[in-house]
Amino acid sequence: MTHYSLIQQVSTSLKDTLSPMLGGTDTRFVDPTTSVVAANDIVFDSPAELTLGANSMLSVFLYAVTPNPHMRNLPVRTFNTHDVDGNLLDSGGAREQDILLDFYYMITPYGQNRNIDYEITERIVQLFHRYPSIAQTAGALFDNGNDEIFIEPQSLTLDEMNKIWSVFPNKAYRMSLFYQVPSVMIAAAKPEATVYRWKKNTVNMKQKKN
C-alpha cells in the first residue's frame, strides 16, 4: 500500500519519540522529570525558517532524503500473470521493487540559555543511545512493511557541518546533533497488479497422405 505522506509521518514519529524525553514524561527513565522543551515547541523548520519565541525550542530539520544504495539486495515482490481470459500463465513472472529511503536530520536546540542547550542535547543522546528506534505513531509505516525504524548518530566533520550551515543565510553556527534514519520502506506503487498478455498457441499442420 502506498501512502504519499510517509516522509511527513517519519518526521512526526521522530517528534513523538523526542517529546516525552524532553517533556520529562518518558516513563522508561527515572530522570528527567522536568520539561525543557514542550511538544508544541519541537518544530520541523530549518534554522533559516525558525521563528524564536519566549520558550526553548528544538529544530528537527530533515535536510536530505536519499534512496538506500543497498535497496536492490532486497527480494522483489512478485505477482502472477494471466491471459485475457483470466487463466494463469505463470507465477512470479512480473516483479515490483520496493523503495528504501534514508532520512538525514539535523537536530538543533534553541534553549533560553546555553545550559539548557546542553541539557536538551544530553537528553537526546541518552534517549537514542538506550533506545535507538523511533515510535511508529503512524499506521502507514506499518502498512508499508516497516516493523521497526532505527535511528543512528552521524559523525560529521567540522567542514561538513559548516557546509550545511552555510546554506542558512545570516544564521550563526549552533551546536547540533546529526542522525540518520535508514532503510524506511515504501511499498511499490502497485504490488498486487495483474499483467495481461496473449497466450501463444502452437499448431502443427501435417499433410495427409493418400
Question: Could you read off the pLDDT of 66-119 as tens digits, one per residue?
Answer: 988 776 666 665 555 555 566 655 555 545 667 888 999 999 999 999 999 999
Q: Tell me the pTM.
A: 0.76
Give dist(CA 59, CA 109) in Å, integer: 6
Confidence of residue 27 (pLDDT cuts 50, 70, 90): confident
Comparing C-alpha atoms, which of 74, 80, 134 is closest to residue 103?
134
- DSSP, collapsed to helix, strand or coil, labels residue 40 as helix
Top pLDDT among 47 and 193 is at 47
List the alpha helices (DSSP H) in the chain.
Answer: 6-23, 114-130, 139-143, 158-165
Q: Any bridge partners for residue 195, and if so which?
A: 81
Question: Could you read off the pLDDT of 114-156 as tens digits, one per residue?
Answer: 999 999 999 999 999 999 988 765 566 666 667 788 999 999 9
Place of cell 535508514: 182
- Give me the residue spans of the domains in the chain: 6-196
